[in-house]
Chains A and B, each alone.
Chain A
Amino acid sequence: MLNRNARLTAAAAIAATGLALTGCSGTTGASTSGPVSLTFWGWAAGYEKSVALWNESHPGIQVKYEAITDGGAGGYDKMFTAAKAGTAPCLAQIGYETFASFLAAGLLQDVSEHAAPRRAEFPDWVWGNVGIDGKIFGVPVDTAPMGLFYRSDLFKSAKIEAPKTWEEFRTAAAAVKAADPKSRIMNLPTDPYLYAGFAWQGDAPWFGVSGDAWTVSMNSAANSKVAGYWQGLFDEDLVTSYPAFDAALYTAWNSGEVWAEVGPVWSASLIRDNAAGSAGKWAVAPMPRWDTADSVGNSGGSATAVMKGCANPKEATEFALWMSTDDKSVSNLIKSAAILPASASGLANPALDAPESYYGGQAIYQLFRAESAKVNPNWRWGPVMSTTASALGDGLGKVPAKSATFQDALNGAQTGTVSALQAQGFSVGK
């Protein structure tokens, strides 16, 4: 009796683990008969509805959407792990900043033959974020060009014009402090990805490709120029230095102690949701320029990538293109996630012409629509961005305490990135 019981227990335990293990495996593939089935991992609001819209109108290609954790909060780790275990989905939402990391890990599929015919439907610079050497590995969904968000009421009463160049921005910063010694123009951008947008605009790329090798140029002269600008504002006490995305910063926006924010298009919702008390008093202007260079930075945006091992890359690409360009899908994404579409047809969507009451009735997305065409095309993300970003973030986090400078942070990230690349066997060129 006892023996049998023991065996039963053992069998039950083994059966249970077996169940758990099969439960983990995703379906990547195709069935030879019946509709093609594709799995899609993402987290952005609205994706599920767009998938449902597709499934209604495309009975032959059924997409199964699985919501996962936000990429930066563990979603990417999940994808890496799944790819290693051979259970990766066919399609995955991947932010541009992490796209190259997946690419360099050899986890994405070249879908150039399916996507290239529709290249003209998206701005050129966006394609550089979803491929390499002209090859395409995914379809852009949205972009995040930057702009100047500012308290028009405070600027007006202090008789300060919205700055058009970084030179004017510095003058305005001093004027803000002069108008109200408790106030500053902006918070120091110490979040690595937010800061990247400023380097992006300043024609100071961090990465490049030279033949069959990656190049890392975070300590270039162009980068020192951008870093020096912010270090200067900080040293002259013209900016605040709250942690990025901290409640203290939101309070300062709300109370009018911080008058402006130069940030990507999604700062619109960030400010609106966290500084509700100053509704109607904000306005948006184009990002200040470096002298006469009419280009802006970008900080965010993502693509639908086709992962390696997907048995139906043609259908997967077809879906991804549809999601980014179809009127109904784009309208849904604008409505539920406030995205700025990457595609030309998406940018033409009339929903972007709506006035925003939080911004005093200004149709702010019209401005971003125009700015998205001016994003600097020379930027490229690197192959180990999580290492680069945490190394840079560690350095930038020390700036407010004055135990490091922006330049130190860039130097540290340069060293950390190069050694991480070499440790993983990548070629690093000059």
Chain B
Amino acid sequence: MSPVTRQRPSRLRELRRAAPFVLPFLLLFVVVYLVPAGYSVVQSFFAVKRSGLGLGGAETVFAGLGNYVRIFQDADFIAALGRVGFIGVVQVPVMLGIALVLALLLDSSVSRGRRFFRIAYFVPYGLPGVIAALVWSFLYAPTLSPITGFFASIGVDLSFVTDGALPFSIANILTWAWTGYNTILIFAALQAIPEETMEAAALDGCSGWKAALLIKVPLIRPALLLTLVFSIIGTAQLYNEPVTMKAVAPNLSSTYTPIMAAVRSLSANDFNYAAAQSVVLGALICVLSVLVFRASARSVT
């Protein structure tokens, strides 16, 4: 008991000392994140009621779970969730796999030109997402693409924008844009591994790829987990790439991803439904992130 009571005042003092550093962030976090999120949740329980032609204006009424019931009957929205789910399942492991291999290569003592590659990997991340998507759109456009043109000249009919090819074309843009970012995150974690650890491993006869896989990878678990969660969140929020690609792929539907569907509801002046769609997406991401963290914690013990 006594140590606890003795600790209390010092903790309070610590908090006080930390306050000026934490408060600005906390305030911004509350104002630009928690408040709008809370507002969306509140909005999602209401609905706008019009009558007749709608000329009389609208009144907002409490709708209970009405908007959520609508979501479960909304085939377009459910299809959108399925689509980003599929893209995530295919793309995230591929991207993180590549990122891990590149980071291990960068970290290995035999690698040359480390600085050059570190920057080179990072360049795609520096390009604004929309610009990257525009350039890729050009490479995918059936009539303009030099790639399609090349394959056509050797008699292969190739299209990147058929219904079946679209998820992979989008996944490719994501991989191109984000692999470097994840490489750097993983590389930073690798750099933090104490030299003695690797020396000890080497003394025990574990070196090269074996050491990398058996010693380094388990040690950077937290970083890998972080990149995994970031990637899941990023994929769930897919928007820029498909919207930009719509110009060259009219078969890409206007509710291709959950956020596109929510934006469409917003444009239809259906704010409350858009709020419910956003809340469902947010909740799914939350649950998914928690599950990933938990599953990994369990497998450690």
Binding site for B on A (CB under 8 A): 2-3, 5-6, 9-10, 13-14, 17, 76-77, 80, 84, 101, 103-106, 132, 190, 209, 212-214, 242-248, 251, 308, 383-384, 386-387, 390-391, 393-394, 396-398, 400-401, 403, 420, 423-427
Contact = CB atoms under 8 A, between A and B. Distances in A.
A398 B251 CA distance: 5
Contact of A101 (B23, B249, B269): B269
Interface in B49-106: 49-58, 70
A426 B50 contact: yes
A427 B17 contact: no
Given A77-B267, A101-B269, A425-B49, A393 B55 contact: no
A104 B264 CA distance: 17
B192 to A, nearest CB: 32
B55 A247 contact: no
A242 B270 contact: no
Contacts of A425: 47-51, 54, 58
B266 interface: yes
A242 B270 CA distance: 32
Contact of A76 (B47, B54, B57, B267): B267
A243 B55 contact: no
B27 A420 contact: no
B24 interface: yes
Contact of B19 (A2, A387, A398, A401): A2
B268 A386 contact: yes
24 contacts: A2-B17, A9-B24, A13-B28, A76-B267, A101-B269, A105-B269, A106-B56, A132-B53, A212-B52, A214-B53, A245-B247, A247-B144, A248-B141, A248-B144, A308-B57, A393-B250, A397-B250, A424-B48, A424-B54, A425-B47, A425-B49, A426-B50, A426-B53, A427-B53
B251 A420 contact: no
B264 A427 contact: no
A75 to B, nearest CB: 11
B72 to A, nearest CB: 14
B143 interface: yes
A243 B250 contact: yes
Contacts of A386: 264, 267-268
Most buried by B among A247, A393, A394: A394
A235 B157 CA distance: 21
B20 interface: yes
B58 A106 contact: yes
B244 interface: no
B55 A106 contact: yes
| 10 closest residue pairs by CB, A with B | A397-B250, A106-B57, A104-B54, A212-B52, A248-B143, A390-B254, A386-B267, A425-B50, A13-B27, A394-B253
Given A2-B19, A243-B250, A132 B266 contact: no
A425 B266 CA distance: 16
B181 interface: no
